[in-house]
Amino acid sequence: MISKYADLKQNKDLNKIKEAAMSIKEGNIVLFPTETVYGIGANALDANAVNKIFEAKGRASDNPLIVHISNIDMLYNLVKEVGQVEQKLIDNFWPGPLTIIFDRKECVPNVVTAGLNTVGIRMPSNSVAQKLIEFAGLPIAAPSANISGKPSGTKIEDIIDELDGKVDYILDSGMVDIGVESTVVRVIDNKVHILRPGKITVEDIQTLGIEVIIEKQIMEECLPQEKVMSPGMKYRHYAPNTKCLLVYSDNQDKLVDRINQEIELEKNVLVLGRTRNLEKYNTDNKLDMGETSEEISKNIFTLLRKVDSYNVDLVIIEGVKKEGLGLAIMNRLIRACEHNYIEI
Ligand code: AMP
Ligand code: MG
């Protein structure tokens, strides 16, 4: 391994986290765990350091980064105003997998926000992430740890080949908890607009008596020239090289029948299905997505990274109900399948 590496799987060695925090202070970039996915972090107030993240990922410069904080004072240093609805979201969901978009102060460099006058902020609940930010004493700008376009990294083994040597330090705490990236929201006229679905669900926010609007681009194709509320919506994302097809039905029998029909049409097919359905598919190539939404969200990026090694003509993926965490799973899968989607 070329990058410095700390194994924190058994023991969260604070000295190693301090070393990584020093590296961030010195203007380097560090691969670290959050509760959602792994991130590549830099001092959010240092434009040069943040530029290194864009280089390492090959990320488009018009796709802004989320700034991670460990205490509420950091928020007030970065944003102009925290409204009542934002405060309610913070009280209920921070620390946790919710990114809130605010009007930014001047101190936030343009490279972080892709020139927007807003900035996305989140306070992670993962203890290594919290310590890293606390020891650095700085807000940390961090996108997901992956080369742009690939599935986000949920464990180091999946991303080591593409990121070793590109970051100064790697903090490895094993498999993440959640597996899909944070929910991204923007409050407009007291309503919460969902710009990217995640573990904090529409239903979770509605429970607080807040009106929620799901931006239509979450499930639809979005062209590069189209104006969107969240630039990340328009990029090719998560897609394996092998052609993928997403199939969904409320009715399990119909779902299995349709997938078996699609299997007939191709020579070699790999199916990603739920545990309960796997044995019903007429192909030898199968991968188990798990059963619950929590299991599927945890497994999905690792599975998407495996499919190309099967050398099949088609990958068929079982869809899930677009409800709760299912909305986030379907948002990622529709992109992985490049909108090749059948609903019956
Ligand atoms: P990632 O860093 O890969 O988790 O992606 C971050 C997501 O948050 C992308 O979809 C960004 O477009 C979105 N995002 C970050 N900052 C903003 C912002 N200021 N306004 C709108 N969306 C944002
Ligand atoms: Mg990403």
Residues 120-135 have a mean pLDDT of: 98
Residues 301-323 have a mean pLDDT of: 97
Asked if 273 and 207 sit in the same domain, the reply is no
| Residue 227 confidence (pLDDT) | 72
Confidence grade of residue 29 (pLDDT, cut at 50, 70, 90): very high
| Residue 232 confidence (pLDDT) | 82
| Residue 230 confidence (pLDDT) | 87
For residue 234, is it within any domain? no
Last residue of a domain, one of 178, 201, 218: 218
For residue 105, is it within any domain? yes
CATH number at residue 98: 3.90.870.10
The dihedrals phi and psi of 178, each to the nearest 5 degrees, come to -95, -55
CA distance 279 to 273: 9
| Residue 219 confidence (pLDDT) | 83
Cα 32 to ligand 1 centre (Å): 18
Q: For residue 57, is pLDDT > 70?
A: yes
Closest residue to atom 5 of ligand 1, CA basis:
143
Asked if 126 and 190 sit in the same domain, the reply is yes
Q: Where are the alpha helices (DSSP H) in 152-279?
A: 156-163, 202-206, 252-265
Asked if 150 and 44 sit in the same domain, the reply is yes
Residues 49-55 have a mean pLDDT of: 98
For residue 226, is it within any domain? no
Asked if 108 and 255 sit in the same domain, the reply is no
Closest residue to atom 20 of ligand 1, CA basis:
230
| Residue 312 confidence (pLDDT) | 98
Asked if 130 and 256 sit in the same domain, the reply is no
For residue 232, is it within any domain? no
Q: For residue 74, is pLDDT > 90?
A: yes
Q: How many residues does the chain have?
A: 344
| Residue 231 confidence (pLDDT) | 85
Asked if 328 and 188 sit in the same domain, the reply is no
Last residue of a domain, one of 167, 184, 218: 218
Which residue among 40, 65, 180 has the greatest number of ligand 1 atoms within 8 angstroms of its CB, and so is best to mutate?
Answer: 65
Tokens of 144: 């997901």
Q: For the chain, what is the mean pLDDT? A: 96
Asked if 192 and 72 sit in the same domain, the reply is yes
For residue 227, is it within any domain? no
The dihedrals phi and psi of 226, each to the nearest 5 degrees, come to -70, 145
For residue 225, is it within any domain? no
Kind of pairing between the strands at 191-196 and 183-188: antiparallel
Confidence grade of residue 225 (pLDDT, cut at 50, 70, 90): low
Q: For residue 92, is pLDDT > 80?
A: yes
For residue 53, is it within any domain? yes
Residues 188-214 have a mean pLDDT of: 98
Last residue of a domain, one of 175, 201, 218: 218
Residues 309-329 have a mean pLDDT of: 97
| Residue 234 confidence (pLDDT) | 79
The domain in which residue 325 lies consists of 244-343
Map residue 203 onto helix, strand or coil: helix
Confidence grade of residue 91 (pLDDT, cut at 50, 70, 90): very high
What percent of the chain shows pLDDT beyond 70? 98
| Residue 222 confidence (pLDDT) | 64
CATH number at residue 267: 3.40.50.11030
Closest ligand 1 atom, residue 233 Cα: 10
| Residue 224 confidence (pLDDT) | 63
Asked if 188 and 316 sit in the same domain, the reply is no
CA distance 344 to 261: 13
Beta-carbon contacts of residue 260 (< 8 Å; ≥ 6 apart): 280, 281, 282
CA distance 248 to 254: 9
Q: For residue 243, is pLDDT > 70?
A: yes
Asked if 211 and 291 sit in the same domain, the reply is no
Cα 232 to ligand 2 centre (Å): 8
Closest CA to 77 of 40, 45, 125: 45
Asked if 91 and 214 sit in the same domain, the reply is yes
Residues 247-264 have a mean pLDDT of: 97
- Please tell me which residue, 296 or 223, carries the higher pLDDT value: 296
Q: Is the CB of 185 under 6 A from ligand 1?
A: no
Closest residue to atom 10 of ligand 1, CA basis:
232
Asked if 42 and 160 sit in the same domain, the reply is yes
For residue 231, is it within any domain? no
| DSSP structural state of residue 93 | H
Asked if 179 and 38 sit in the same domain, the reply is yes
Number of folded domains that form the chain: 2
Residues 221-241 have a mean pLDDT of: 79
